[in-house]
Structure 1
Amino acid sequence: MKAVLSGVSKRYGDQWVLRDLNLTLEGTNVLMAPSGRGKTTLARLLLGLEAPDAGRVETDGRIVAQFQEDRLCGQLTAVGNVALCCPQLRREQIETALTQLGLCEEDWSKPARQLSGGQARRVALARAVLAPAEGVILDEPFKGLDEETRQRAMNWVSRMMEGRWLLLITHDEQEGEAFGGASVEIL
């Protein structure tokens, strides 16, 4: 499975964010660039949330994403938030994933609005990675996690990506190196 961008350009007003981008995403891809260089725009184009001003975006199958904001449903529990996007999973499978990400049984049943920032981040990560899709976009998914939790989450994501392509958007060189894969250039 893959995504292909051919001659893709995107601008906002007079400002070009992407210009004549040719890119094939398959396997693991790491995108690191300064703020304002089109990282999130690229994700939005891949997801079909925006249209390019020029060029073509072609994707095989479904793509899911975790954005910089967690975007959880505050009234749903941690398990409920994951189940909402992953109807193919049994409750036990969701609980196992949340445990592997370092959440305890008490956290599973809390409404998302009562979770700490790091807990909410991991629930959003589980929701994206466990959703049925051929491609996964993670936009700064480990932001705000302490070192031990971040390492645990990175290891979990790496294990879960088999057979799918990943676009990891990060500002952190250590995260980029941990995932290896192809380095994506958009400038």
Structure 2
Amino acid sequence: MGTSFGRGGATDYLQDLVNTDFILIMGSNMAEAHPVGFQWVMEAKKKGARVVHVDPRFTRTSALADQYVRIRAGTDIAFLGGVVHHVLSNDLDFREYVAAYTNAAFLVNEGFADTEDLDGLFSGYDPATGSYDTTTWDYEGASQRGTAPMETGMGGPPIEGAAGGIAQDPTLQHPRSVFQVLKRHFSRYTPEMV
């Protein structure tokens, strides 16, 4: 996102926050650093939105949030991994949206191996060059390199056709669907680990 929109760039209008029912603020003291934008968080809260602030420091944002979650500095990824694990393990995602508007139904090539299979590395790693050959990460049935249409929008280079001949499982149950690969990858982020 930083390359496209600049560091700290937003992809939506802050005014739209008033229409949400949940706001997660992580690693930012938005109340003090962005007070004009934070007014929309407070407007959403008045309308019933729940505000959660995750940060090592208790700040003015923490004081105004419904819940403050203190984490150790540098544990952001583990915390977010735990959130993803919780959502996927308890079927708390918006499954219809995920299946229709993301790459979750696409099948990954049979040669793909995740980090738990290869001692912390993804498939395609070449120790001699210290780089990855990412062809095993491609979607099954894609005859050319590229991205799925919904990953780049209208201006991006889609793989041929709407779904590019990519093998899909709309039920998201196939073990090589992006959804199941994601679920397996984040299964390690248990409450005990996080």
- TM exceeding 0.5: no
**Comparing both chains, which one has the higher relative contact order based on Cα–Cα distances under 8 Å and sequence gaps of 6 or more?**
1
Higher strand share: 1
Give the alignment's TM-score, normalised by structure 2.
Answer: 0.25
Give the alignment's TM-score, normalised by structure 1.
Answer: 0.25
